[in-house]
Chain A
């Protein structure tokens, strides 16, 4: 049943990308953009220019490196769309399931469950803390509640040390996942509300990738010592080195020309 009295909302995808001296995040975002445009048939906007100085462990080099992951709270203000799918640059879209969320989201929905392909992982921010939500994928409407959420994420980013202590977070570096987890907890009366969470998990490949190919409707993935055949689906690839490789470029071409 379609309500013809409701005006059509603008819809699109937003990706944040900030280059560091080590990793070309804008190229990563450009690659994610090609896939999102192809599979979702929506316009994609890349936001760049945030300069929070932070560090992350690079799974490819095995070293801590500069990481500019701040400013995600500006997504609400900067998004040119009424309805926004906000994704990390390393989240590659290979189907249109996120469009279903645009039809049902009231304020926002964020990822609750992240399934790692090759390993188990703790889903808590700390031993005595909340379960982590994943800012990797988020869908939101521009509503007062969503604006409050993003404003709160900004406040948490600016006062991260305070919130880190308050929520017993183990990691020292600022992570958007943690900021959104805390903000969601506060905005829902120090509780959780299932309607704010995507109803399915995201799939992540957490470590370095030896090879990843698309053959027919399956991904053939090789990591150090393991091999998988995965269905073609949206996938979070944490190896930036692989995303920047020629093999990734070939996979994108194969997927978009199929």
Chain B
């Protein structure tokens, strides 16, 4: 019975007696980083047997992710006949590929940051609704579905709305406001960011909800009772607690936009140079033939870029998460 109780029950249950009083003082969910029990736990070494617990995951990933990734990386260093060469890798460091990387990164950063901020705002707005209530569940499930709504259908949906003959374009025209005259089109950076938000915001929502759930309402009430304003609560308590998962979600959104392909292709067909589109042209096109290894080299560079961002994120995380540990 006690085993399945929710986490709101004070954390002191079952702990050794000396630490019980100390941990009951802290709100449930915040680990007793500096308490006696915490440090006692910290000094225990990782037993090699513990690593076995990761074995299924490691094996699965090694086979189903490692093998294809290895195939891609080795192919990047081969030419058509299979001989080792650096030519593909060096070619992809120059224009037009280099320019495409900058544009891809720009689009990914813009859509990730906007998506993260707007997604968080929406998540907070919706989290006020009752847990497990209809609104909450409807928004969560709709987000799940929309997070993967991309490619040609999404492009078409936006063309039907904001394209030259789109529904909203026509509404605005009849109200006297001409979109194209004001420089708005769907196939430049601004337009693509707007379209990308359609799946970035739901993804952010879905990923940040569990973290928001971890913010106990008691903490906000406690802060209030101590005289903090809503703003101060977010600045001092909610914000720092949310920072690690927020950054993680930001990284996810960046990688998501970075690798997205079909939507941008359908809308801009290469007039906005993006790396995935270039990969598609070499690996799955009708014009260039026998150049798939350039595609693999581009894939290799994409892995490098995301790898760098992950490293930066890790370093950043160590600082922000210090408060929690």
Indicate, yes or no, whether A interacts with B. no
Residues on A facing B (Cβ under 8 Å): none
Residues on B facing A (Cβ under 8 Å): none
